[in-house]
Structure 1
């Protein structure tokens, strides 16, 4: 009985070292062709399509919170009325050295709405920045139509 148990444990230990589950066909994430590479990788000749969303009117706050893998950049904007959606921080090419620059874009509502109270109009957006993206960066600037705010590292 002990001999069978010892042999079974040894066999399982040897099989465990043969392959990683993340690369095997037993992993459900690989069943539809996934797991082959990162979906965020872009070819070297990638050109970002032109942005069709307008800039938010004002930036009210910008914060940078450190995380174990980098930092989370959060910006709060104030559009002219309620109903704005699909907010995003779009990187700006050609920013000064030691600076990351972003523009705060969002999509307007399909139907014109009343302005509403400023607290009801606030829109937040966040972006995770990796350590590699933050390497050598001292200031992060977020721009709007009327102003821009910065966060120092």
Structure 2
């Protein structure tokens, strides 16, 4: 009887910890979208424009850090060489621009699924030290995840 009670309490306490900050798989979550209008500044260092919008943002922990993945939606097919470019690191906040090259020739618009483009970056535990919010911004919106 005492053994069953001990097992039951262990399972309950284990499951209750799943939604806390103690669980490393819950490091970043609660994705939010905010509509904005960004004035795109193209520099000599990176001539790529911002993607039209960010439709998804995930931060997945792994041993030694985390992987930031974002899916962008350009206005038509053929965009390439997508990257998340770090533009700001302030107290508790890390901001990336989602940058892509436009297709060199005219292309069809196509379906949303055919236009989606994925970009990602790896962050070490040292990169994440003190970071509470990760933001990825595009021309018309930005998405953020919080710890």
For the residue of structure 1 that corresponds to 2:110, the secondary structure is coil
CA drift of 1:50 comes to: 2.8
Q: Alignment partner for residue 113 of structure 2, among 119, 140, 145? A: 119
**Higher relative contact order, chain-length normalized (CA < 8 Å, sep 6+):** 2
Residues 1-153 of structure 1: matches in 2 within 5 Å? 50-93=45-88, 95-153=89-147
Rounded to whole Å, the distance in 2 between the matches of 1:112 and 1:54 is 17
5+ residue gaps, structure 2, are 1-42
Q: How many residues align?
A: 105
Rounded to whole Å, the distance in 1 between the matches of 2:110 and 2:86 is 30
CA drift of 1:81 comes to: 0.4
The list of structure 1 runs, each at least 4 consecutive aligned residues, that deviate by more than 6 angstroms after superposition, is none
Q: State the TM-score, normalizing by the size of structure 1.
A: 0.66
Name which one, 1 or 2, has greater alpha-carbon Rg. 1
Higher fraction of strand: 2
Rounded to whole Å, the distance in 2 between the matches of 1:145 and 1:68 is 33
Q: State the TM-score, normalizing by the size of structure 2.
A: 0.69
Rounded to whole Å, the distance in 2 between the matches of 1:133 and 1:49 is 26
- Residue matched to 1:36: none
Aligned CA RMSD, in angstroms, stands at 1.3
